[in-house]
């Protein structure tokens, strides 16, 4: 029997969202390169930070770090799990602030970069780095005070599985971000090597409900796409960022923002009772 070969799509794209070139040859149309595999490569891991968070990308790094700190509150002495920690941008920041942090990622190469940075910062001892799949977290129920994942859900084929696992091992806070389906990302999403899963607010709310979580806060940001900021020098990027933030204050911005940050808490009898009380008070 003749085996049907996948149609190939000769692609040679200099992906403009990266500051250097990524060459894709003969990518079969039906195959998308998933985040699990993509980040295994040493070259991808070694250039991950510099490609995304230098130049105007520093503003993105700053915003994401602020989002994490806002969601987690004081972290000193708290037991925190970071899912898909990558090169440890947030891991190291939280360890520096006194958190007991465990960081899990499926890529040995990304973890190696994180370990290297932690060693340089002198806080290597404070972090438990773990190689593993976020779909099967090797921890008991309710083990952590907070569990978070940044830039992960756009790679997730089965977001419900990941969120349910995160909820299972947290006794309180869950935090994550998503890229949004009504943002400028739609325009160039098809160019990205992995593509990105884009979410609507309703989808996120459904995922939270299925995972037994209640949304406590959300923020929506970046009308201009991340790729744009990465391309320009920091000084110039700051001017665009100021405009972006001013526009972001308008009602329409929530719908069109590229990124949303979602903070939720695990439903327990106590949190459910609180919510009922809030609703009753609001209706009085």
Residues that bind ligand SAM (CB under 6 A): 35-36, 39, 84-86, 89, 105-107, 110, 133-135, 150-152, 155
Smallest separation (angstroms) from ligand SAM to the CB of 40: 7
For residues 199 and 178, the answer to whether their CB atoms sit within 8 Å is yes
For residues 148 and 83, the answer to whether their CB atoms sit within 8 Å is yes
Smallest separation (angstroms) from ligand SAM to the CB of 228: 18
Q: For residue 115, count other CB atoms closer than 10 A to its CB.
A: 17
Residue of closest CB approach to ligand SAM: 86
Nearer to ligand SAM among residue 147 and residue 150 (C-beta): 150
Smallest separation (angstroms) from ligand SAM to the CB of 243: 25
* Alpha carbon separation from 250 to 5, 51, 52, 109, 255 (Å, rounded): 50, 31, 27, 41, 10
Nearer to ligand SAM among residue 175 and residue 228 (C-beta): 175
Smallest separation (angstroms) from ligand SAM to the CB of 180: 16
Smallest separation (angstroms) from ligand SAM to the CB of 157: 9
Smallest separation (angstroms) from ligand SAM to the CB of 42: 12
Smallest separation (angstroms) from ligand SAM to the CB of 3: 29
Nearer to ligand SAM among residue 91 and residue 184 (C-beta): 91
Nearer to ligand SAM among residue 36 and residue 231 (C-beta): 36
Nearer to ligand SAM among residue 111 and residue 284 (C-beta): 111
Nearer to ligand SAM among residue 39 and residue 261 (C-beta): 39
Q: Please give the Cα distance from 176 to 153 (Å, whole number).
A: 8
Nearer to ligand SAM among residue 84 and residue 211 (C-beta): 84
């Amino acid at each position: 029997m003749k085996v049907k070969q996948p149609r190939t799509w000769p692609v040679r794209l200099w992906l403009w969202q990266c500051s250097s070139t990524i060459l894709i040859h003969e990518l079969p149309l039906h195959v998308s390169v998933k985040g699990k595999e993509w980040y295994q490569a040493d070259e991808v891991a070694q250039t991950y930070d510099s490609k995304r968070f230098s130049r105007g990308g520093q503003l993105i790094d700053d915003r994401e770090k602020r989002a994490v700190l806002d969601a987690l509150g004081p972290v000193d002495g708290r037991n925190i799990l970071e899912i898909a920690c990558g090169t440890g941008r947030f891991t190291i920041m939280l360890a520096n602030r006194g958190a007991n942090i465990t960081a899990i990622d499926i890529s040995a190469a990304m973890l190696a970069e994180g370990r290297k940075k932690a060693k340089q910062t002198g806080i290597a001892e404070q972090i438990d780095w773990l190689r593993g799949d976020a779909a099967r977290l090797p921890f008991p129920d309710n083990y952590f005070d907070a569990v978070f994942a940044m830039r992960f859900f756009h790679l997730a084929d089965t977001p419900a599985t990941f969120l349910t696992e995160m909820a299972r091992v947290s006794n309180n806070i869950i935090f994550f971000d998503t890229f949004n389906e009504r943002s400028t990302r739609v325009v160039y999403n098809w160019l990205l090597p992995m593509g990105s899963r884009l979410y609507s607010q309703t989808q996120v709310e459904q995922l939270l409900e299925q995972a037994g979580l209640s949304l406590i806060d959300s923020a929506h940001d970046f009308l201009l796409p991340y790729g744009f900021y990465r391309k320009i020098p920091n000084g110039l990027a700051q001017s665009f960022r100021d405009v972006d933030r001013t526009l972001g204050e308008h009602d329409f911005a929530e719908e069109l923002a590229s990124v949303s940050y979602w903070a939720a808490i695990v439903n327990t009898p106590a949190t459910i009772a609180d919510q009922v009380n809030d609703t009753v008070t609001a209706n009085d």
